[in-house]
Chains A and B, each alone.
Chain A
Amino acid sequence: MSGWHHAPVANVLLTTGDVEAFTVGLTLLGSGGGGNPHPFRQSLRRALDAVGGEFELRDPADLGDAPVVATGMLGATSVLTEKLPSGHELRDAVHALARWSGTAAAAIMPLESAGLNGLLAVTTAAELGLPLVDADFMGRALPRVDQFTAAATGASVTPFALVEPGGQAVLIDHSSPRALERIVRSVVAQGSGWAGSALGPYPARSLATGACAGTLAKALLLGRAHAETGPEAFAARLGGRVLAAGRTVEIARIPSATFGRAGIAIVDDGGAVLRIEAENEYLLALLDGVPVASCPDLLCVLDRRTSDPIAVDLLRPGDDVLVVVLPGPPWWRATPERLRHVDPRSFGLDCDAVLLPDVA
Chain B
Amino acid sequence: MRTTVQLSALLAHPEWAGVTILAADADGTAVRAVQTVADLRADPVVARHSLLAVALSGDRDDWHLDALLRRAAAAGVVAVLLPGTEPLRHASRLLAGRVGITVLGSPDPLTVALAATRLLHEPEQVLAELLTRTAAVCTVAAGGVDEVVAELARAWRRPVWLLDGTGEVVAGTRPPDADEATVLTRPVGAGRSPARLAAAVPAGIPAEVAAVEAALGVAAGTVGHRLAEKRLAVERDARLRMSLLAELMQPAAEPDPGTRRRALDAGWQLEGWHIGIRIDVPASVEPVAIRPEVLRAFDTAQIRALVVEQGTGWGAWTTFAEEPAPAELQRHATAARRAQSLLRSSLPSAMGVGRVQRGVAGLARTLGEAGDAARLAATRSSSGYFVHVDRLGLGQLLLAWTRTDTFLPAARSMLEPLRDQPGNLLRTLTAYLDAESSLTETAAVLGVHRNTVAARMARAQELLGVDLVDPDERLALHLACRSVLFHT
B98 pairs with A265, CB closer than 8 A: no
Given the complex, which residues of B lie within 8 Å of A284, measured CB to CB?
A: 63
Residue in contact with B99 in the complex, picked from A250, A288, A291, A350, CB distance below 8 Å? A288
B67 pairs with A265, CB closer than 8 A: no
B70 pairs with A288, CB closer than 8 A: yes
B98 pairs with A286, CB closer than 8 A: no
B41 pairs with A350, CB closer than 8 A: yes
Given the complex, which residues of B lie within 8 Å of A250, measured CB to CB?
A: 89-91
Closest to A274 in B: B91
Which of B63, B89, B99 has the largest count of A CB atoms less than 10 A from its CB?
B63
Given the complex, which residues of B lie within 8 Å of A265, measured CB to CB?
A: 89-91, 94
Q: Please tell me if A271 contacts chain B, counting CB pairs below 8 Å.
A: yes
Q: Please tell me if B342 contacts chain A, counting CB pairs below 8 Å.
A: no
The answer for the CA separation of A265 and B91 in the assembled complex, in Å, is 5
A288 pairs with B95, CB closer than 8 A: yes
Q: Please tell me if B61 contacts chain A, counting CB pairs below 8 Å.
A: yes
B67 pairs with A289, CB closer than 8 A: yes
- Given known pairs A286-B67, A289-B67, A289-B70, the reply for A273 and B61 (CB within 8 Å) is no
Q: Which of A246-277 contact B (CB under 8 A)?
A: 249-250, 252, 254, 263-265, 267, 271-273, 275, 277
- Given known pairs A252-B89, A254-B61, A350-B41, the reply for A286 and B66 (CB within 8 Å) is yes
Closest to B59 in A: A254
Closest to B73 in A: A289
A271 pairs with B98, CB closer than 8 A: yes
Q: What is the size category of the interface that chain B forms with chain A? A: 10 to 19
Q: Please tell me if A290 contacts chain B, counting CB pairs below 8 Å.
A: yes
Closest to A249 in B: B90
Decide if the interface of chain A is mainly helix, strand, loop or mixed.
strand
Given the complex, which residues of B lie within 8 Å of A252, measured CB to CB?
A: 61, 89-90
Q: Please tell me if B291 contacts chain A, counting CB pairs below 8 Å.
A: no
Q: Which of B71-129 contact A (CB under 8 A)?
A: 71, 73, 89-91, 94-95, 98-99
Q: Which of A301-360 contact B (CB under 8 A)?
A: 349-351
Given the complex, which residues of A lie within 8 Å of B71, measured CB to CB?
A: 289
Given the complex, which residues of B lie within 8 Å of A273, measured CB to CB?
A: 66, 91, 94-95, 98
Q: Please tell me if B226 contacts chain A, counting CB pairs below 8 Å.
A: no
A275 pairs with B61, CB closer than 8 A: no
Given the complex, which residues of A lie within 8 Å of B98, measured CB to CB?
A: 271-273, 288
Chain A 41-79, CB within 8 Å of chain B: the 1/0 string? 000000000000000000000000000000000000000
Residue in contact with B94 in the complex, picked from A249, A254, A264, A351, CB distance below 8 Å? A249
Whole-angstrom distance between the Cβ of A311 and the nearest chain B Cβ: 20
Closest to A272 in B: B98
Q: Please tell me if B64 contacts chain A, counting CB pairs below 8 Å.
A: yes
Whole-angstrom distance between the Cβ of B264 and the nearest chain A Cβ: 81
Q: Please tell me if B69 contacts chain A, counting CB pairs below 8 Å.
A: yes
The answer for the CA separation of A104 and B61 in the assembled complex, in Å, is 50
The answer for the CA separation of A209 and B90 in the assembled complex, in Å, is 45
The answer for the CA separation of A263 and B66 in the assembled complex, in Å, is 12
Whole-angstrom distance between the Cβ of B391 and the nearest chain A Cβ: 83
The answer for the CA separation of A286 and B61 in the assembled complex, in Å, is 14
Given the complex, which residues of A lie within 8 Å of B73, measured CB to CB?
A: 289
- Given known pairs A289-B70, A290-B70, the reply for A350 and B95 (CB within 8 Å) is no
A289 pairs with B41, CB closer than 8 A: no
A263 pairs with B91, CB closer than 8 A: yes
Whole-angstrom distance between the Cβ of A241 and the nearest chain B Cβ: 20
B89 pairs with A277, CB closer than 8 A: no
B61 pairs with A290, CB closer than 8 A: no
Given the complex, which residues of B lie within 8 Å of A290, measured CB to CB?
A: 67, 70
Residue in contact with B63 in the complex, picked from A263, A267, A271, CB distance below 8 Å? A263
Whole-angstrom distance between the Cβ of B58 and the nearest chain A Cβ: 11
Whole-angstrom distance between the Cβ of B442 and the nearest chain A Cβ: 77
A291 pairs with B90, CB closer than 8 A: no
The 8 A-B pairs at the shortest CB distance, nearest first, are namely A289-B70, A265-B91, A250-B90, A289-B66, A273-B94, A273-B95, A275-B91, A289-B67
29 contacts between A and B (CB under 8 A): A249-B90, A249-B91, A250-B89, A250-B90, A252-B61, A252-B90, A263-B61, A263-B89, A264-B91, A265-B89, A265-B91, A265-B94, A271-B98, A272-B98, A273-B91, A273-B94, A275-B66, A275-B91, A275-B95, A288-B70, A288-B95, A288-B99, A289-B68, A289-B71, A289-B99, A290-B67, A290-B70, A291-B67, A349-B63
> Which chain A residues have a beta carbon within 8 Å of chain B's beta carbons?
249-250, 252, 254, 263-265, 267, 271-273, 275, 277, 284, 286, 288-291, 349-351
